[in-house]
Amino acid sequence: MDLQTVADRVEIEALRGEFTDAAMMRNRPRLAALFTEDGVLRMPNVPVEFTGREAILAGGEKLQAQWDFFVQNTHPGSIQLAGDSATGRTYMHEVVRTLTGHEGINFAIYHDRYQRTADGWRFAERVYEVRYLDPSPLAGGAPEAKPSEPGFAVAATDAALDRTVAALTANGFTAEIVDDLPAARTRVAELIPAGASVFTSASETLRLSGIDDDINRGDAYDPVKPRLYAIDRATGADEIRRLMSIPDVVVGSVAAVTETGSLVVASATGSQLPAYAGGAAKAIWIVGAQKVVPDLSTALRRVEEHALPLEDARAKLVYGKSSAINRLLVLNAENPGRGTVVLVREAVGF
């Protein structure tokens, strides 16, 4: 086996792993980008068939919005190379519960076609075949999770987004709508002045979009977080607090935004709240469309019933401890020119 063959097999195996990671992290834009421009995803048992990246993205968002939880394990299968194309099989074990109460365990096969592109190997086609299905009620569930209102995970309509933009604008925010995370990523880069000190709050939206890496690992700005990590917490607590509280720009997200023009932020530590509330000269919030709710009371329910269980599970995985709503910030208005809300038409983040 020559080195090119080995490299191709490794890259295709990594592609299949990326698919499962994107599915588990609910990162549909990344999942769609793993296909060729005219790639096809077929799941006859659902039944659905999506052709092209845009259809795979849109269709996947609709399927994902139905999940209460979803666990997917990928087991390596065969790969047959033929120049710039290849075929293969991937074996799947999945546990799922939908918000409508359907649940079960299945074992399935993805019958794959792969294509070498300028960006590396991509899926030309994935066809999903279920080999075993057990729809029996599941005994377990997401750790300490509460049932979430289905609408809390579903992207708002264009009409609701338009109402939200109008209300935010009336309340002094700058508000705009972009189609997807890549567009949000580009827009944030346009909004931050070169060389500005920038503090990024902990946010799945920033992580999934790549915005966090752009700011903290790039050289266009003066990122605060790398400086924080270099300070001894025992002797430099005051310096850490000041750096987080008064940057030139703070970038993050929120737990909910209302159609009446308010932003709701929940925090366990409060580290991002001083900058959000007014300490930063400018604030930029990137908000997935599923976070749009009619009013403040619904926003508070979304925080407790939907966002907290998801963040709690993440905190246990990353930090080894639970999360909590220890501090709550509601921004009902803003000084014109300071705060920008970038609404993303798709569901992203918690």
Domain ranges of the chain: 3-134, 150-344
- Please give the backbone phi and psi of residue 262, each rounded to the nearest 5 degrees, phi first: -120, 150
pLDDT per residue as tens, the chain (350 positions)? 799 999 999 999 999 999 999 888 878 888 999 999 999 999 998 889 999 999 999 888 788 777 777 899 999 899 999 999 999 999 999 998 877 667 889 999 999 999 999 999 999 999 999 999 998 888 776 665 444 455 688 889 999 999 999 999 999 999 999 999 999 999 999 999 999 999 999 898 998 889 999 999 988 999 999 998 889 888 998 999 999 999 999 999 999 999 999 999 999 999 999 999 999 999 999 999 999 999 999 999 999 988 898 888 878 877 788 889 999 999 999 999 999 999 999 988 88
- Cα dihedral 244/249/255/257 (nearest 10): 150
Q: Which fold has domain 3-134?
A: Nuclear Transport Factor 2; Chain: A, (3.10.450)
Q: Do domains 3-134 and 150-344 have the same CATH topology?
A: no
Please give the Cα distance from 317 to 310 (Å, whole number): 11
51-58: Cβ within 8 A, 24+ apart: 56/31, 56/32, 57/28, 57/29, 57/31, 57/32, 57/180, 57/346
Question: What pLDDT is stored for residue 145 in this prediction?
Answer: 45
- Residues with Cβ within 8 Å of residue 2, at least 6 apart in sequence: none
Q: Which fold has domain 150-344?
A: Rossmann fold (3.40.50)
Question: What pLDDT is stored for residue 250 in this prediction?
Answer: 97
